[in-house]
A and B are shown apart, each in its own frame.
Chain A
C-alpha cells in the first residue's frame, strides 16, 4: 500500500501573531512555522499502518521556513520518501495549497492520502477534502481509528459526544486524520541530523497552482478582549487566595 501524507506548516500559535499593515493577513516576515499538529498525527497513523501491514509512506510539504526540518524529521521517524513543493506563495489559500498538492500527487502511484483534518489557517476549507475534490477521489475526514484488511480500510469518523460512524472504504481515498492511535512519536535529534547528512530532499516546482477562491479578506484582526476575563494579579499566593474565595462563594 502506498500512503502519501501531504502536510501543512502553520504559524506557531505560541508566538504572538501580528497583522500586516493593510490589515488583511498576518505579518509574515518573522513568522515561525511548525507542522500542523493534526498533520503530525497523519504521519504517525501512516507509520503505524506501515509497521503493522507494510506500506510505503511519502510525506510532502510546501516550502516554508521550517519545511526541511519537518521533512527530515518525517524521514527520521520512518517515512520512505520526502518531497518539498516549491513555488507556492507563503500566503496561499488552502484551495491553492490543495491544487499544488494535487499536481504532485496525481502523478504518484498512491492508494491512500492521509492528511491533518484541519489547520489553523483554513479560511477557505480543509486541505484533505479540497485535495480529494481536485484528485477526483472520495474523502472521509475527522477520522481517528484506521485499520487495514486486504484492499479495504475501516475508518471511524468522529461526531460529537464521543459518537463515531464506521465506514469501509476502498482506495483511492483521502483521509482527514483527527488523531493517530498513539501520540505522534519523537525522532531523536541525532537521527534527524544523520538523515540530513545522508539524504537530499526531492523537490518539485509547482508554479501554476493559483486558484481563485472567490473571496477576499477585507479585515484580519485580533478579537476584542472586551468581554474578557478579569485578570487576577499578585503573587501565586494572592491569586490562589482570590480564586479560593471565588470558588467558596460559588459553592456556598
Chain B
C-alpha cells in the first residue's frame, strides 16, 4: 500500500457537500505527515466537470457512469472498492454521514480494512493512524490506533474547517472503470424526496426554544410554546419529538434535520447527542436545562442548569412576560 490519503467526495444534486472540503483540508495536513499526496474518489455522473473545485487534491480517481448519478449504497460501494484497489491509499477518509456510513463500513468488510468511525480527529503517529471517536452519545471519547497498511476513518461532519480544503485547481484525473451490474442492481434509486415546506422556518428565527425527550409528553409542549411566545421566538426540537409526531419534521434540529444559527438557543431536556449538536453548535448563546449534570449538551452550552425543566420553565416564562 502507498502513503496517499484518499478522500471520498460526497455530493448531492451536483454539488459537493461541505464535508468533502473539510476532509480535503485535513487530508492535506495529514499527507505532509505520511509523505504521500491527497487524492479523491469521485463517483458519479458528469461530476468530473467539477473536479477543479477539488484543487486541494493532486489526483482525482473518477468513476463516471450515468447509472452512478445518484448515490446508491450498493453500486457506489463497489465503485469505491474499485478505486481503493487501484489507488492503494494509506488512509481513506469518508464522511460519517448517511452516505458515508454505508460506504465506510461496507468497504471495511469488502476489503478487510480497519475502520475507525465517528472520528472527531485523525492524526498520523509514526507508523500508526490514530483517530478519536465520539461514542456513547458524546459522553465518551475513544482514541484508537491502527498500524494497518491501509485504514479507513469516517469523520463526523463539521469538525474540520471547510475553508482549508476549498481550493480551485486542476488535479490530474484518472478514470477507473465502473463496476459491472450497475443498471440492474438489487438496490435501485428512484427519486429524491424534498422536505415538505414548514409552518415555521426555524432557520430564520433569532430565538429558539428547543425541546427534547425530557419534555415527557406532547401535553407538555405548551410550556415551551408559552416561553417561546414570551420571547418572541419559535419552538424547535430534537429528533425523538419529531419521530413521535409531536412536532413536524420542519422543527427538527440536527444531522438529519435543519442546521440553525440563532442568537439564542434554549435547550430544554435535550441530552446533546452528536447528531443534535451538529445542527445547533454555532448558535451565539446556548443555554441548556437538563437534570443530568453529565449530559453532553453542557459541553457545548454557554450556560447550564440542572433544574427540572418543569420547575424552571414556568418561572422563566413568568419573568419574561
Chain A contact surface mostly: mixed
Stretch at the interface among B43-51, B169-177, B299-307: B299-307
User: By the criterion CB–CB under 8 Å, are A237 and B299 in contact?
Assistant: no
Which of B33-41, B56-64, B184-192 forms contacts with chain A? B184-192
In the complex, chain A residues whose CB is within 8 Å of the CB of B232: 251
A214 B135 Cβ-Cβ under 8 A: no
- A218 touching B303, Cβ below 8 Å: no
| CA gap between A223 and B296 in the complex, in Å | 9
A161-B258, A163-B193, A178-B256 known; A122+B187 contact, CB < 8 A: no
Residue pair B97, A225 in contact (C-beta under 8 Å): no
Chain A residues whose C-beta falls within 8 Å of the C-beta of B164 in the assembled complex = none
8 examples of A-B residue contacts, CB within 8 angstroms: A123-B133, A133-B108, A139-B106, A216-B144, A216-B145, A217-B144, A231-B304, A240-B318
Across-interface contacts of B299 in A (CB, < 8 A): 223, 225, 227-229
Given the known interface contacts A11-B136, A167-B188, A241-B319, the answer about A16 and B294 at a Cβ–Cβ threshold of 8 Å is yes
Which partner residue on chain A sits nearest B144 by CB separation? A215
Verify A133–B105 contact, CB threshold 8 A.
yes
**Closest residue of B by beta carbon distance from A128:** B105
Q: Does B287 contact A (CB under 8 A)?
A: yes
- Chain B CB within 8 A of A213 CB: yes
Distance from B107 Cβ to chain A, minimum over Cβ atoms (Å): 9
- For residue A8, give the distance in angstroms from its CB to the closest CB of chain B: 13
Instruction: Using CB atoms, name the residue of chain B closest to A125.
Output: B105
A243 within 8 A of B: yes
B residues in contact with A246, CB < 8 Å: 285, 287, 303
9 further interface pairs, Cβ-Cβ under 8 Å (given A213-B115, A241-B319): A14-B292, A123-B118, A123-B135, A137-B186, A142-B98, A160-B256, A223-B139, A230-B304, A243-B287
Is A250 within 8 A of B285, CB to CB? yes
Report which B residues bind A (CB closer than 8 A): 12, 70-74, 97-99, 101-102, 104-106, 108-110, 113-118, 130, 133, 135-146, 148, 151, 154, 185-196, 207, 231-232, 239, 243-245, 249-250, 252, 255-259, 263-264, 266, 271, 284-288, 292-294, 296, 298-308, 311-312, 315-316, 318-320
A122 touches B137 (CB 8 A): no
What CA separation (Å) do A19 and B15 show in the bound complex?
42
| Residues from chain B with Cβ under 8 Å of A120 in the complex | 135-137
A229/B187 contact (C-beta < 8 A), A129-B106, A163-B192, A243-B287 known: no
Contact A165 B263 (CB under 8 A): no
> Given A17-B140, A138-B73, does the pair A213, B188 have CB atoms closer than 8 Å?
no
Bound Cα distance from A126 to B117, whole angstroms: 9
Of B141, B243, B299, most buried by chain A (CB within 10 Å of CB) is B243
Chain B nearest CB, measured from A143 CB (Å): 10
Flag if B148 contacts A215 (CB, 8 Å): yes
In contact, B106 and A229 (Cβ under 8 angstroms): no
Q: A148: CB under 8 A from chain B? A: no
Interface of B is mostly: mixed
A118 vs B118: C-alpha distance when bound (angstroms):
11
Q: Among residues 143 to 158 in chain A, which have CB atoms less than 8 Å away from a CB atom of chain B?
A: 154, 156-158
Interface presence of A104 (CB below 8 A): no
Complex interface: chain A residues within 8 A of B194 (CB): 163
Q: Which residues of A contact B (CB under 8 A)?
A: 10-11, 13-14, 16-17, 19, 26, 41, 95, 117-118, 120-126, 129-130, 132-134, 137-142, 154, 156-170, 173, 176, 178-179, 182-183, 213-223, 225, 227-232, 236-237, 239-244, 246-248, 250-251
**B306 in complex: contacting residue of A125, A223, A231, A243, CB < 8 Å:** A231
Sorted nearest first, the 4 A-B pairs with minimum C-beta distance are A133-B109, A214-B114, A162-B195, A229-B304
Cα distance, A241 to B189, chains bound together (Å)? 54
Q: Residue of A at shortest CB range from B78?
A: A138
Q: How far is the CA of A8 from the CA of B84 in the complex (A)?
A: 30
Interchain CB contact (< 8 A) of B143 among A129, A130, A217: A217
- Complex: chain A residue closest to B316, CB-CB: A240
Which residues of B are found within 8 Å of A129, using beta-carbon distances? 101-102, 105-106, 109
- Given the complex of chains A and B, what is the CA–CA distance between A161 and B308 in angstroms? 31
Query: Closest chain B residue to A117 by CB distance?
Result: B101
Given A13-B139, A133-B105, check contact A250 B195 (CB 8 Å).
no
Q: Are A236 and B249 within 8 A (Cβ)?
A: no
Determine whether the beta carbon of A125 is less than 8 Å from that of B104: yes
Known: A230-B303, A236-B312, A239-B307. A141 touches B256 (CB 8 A): no
Picked from A125, A133, A243, the residue with its CB within 8 Å of the CB of B117 is A125
B187 CB contacts on chain A under 8 angstroms: 138, 140, 167-169, 173
The reply to whether A183 and B244 form a contact with Cβ atoms under 8 Å apart is yes
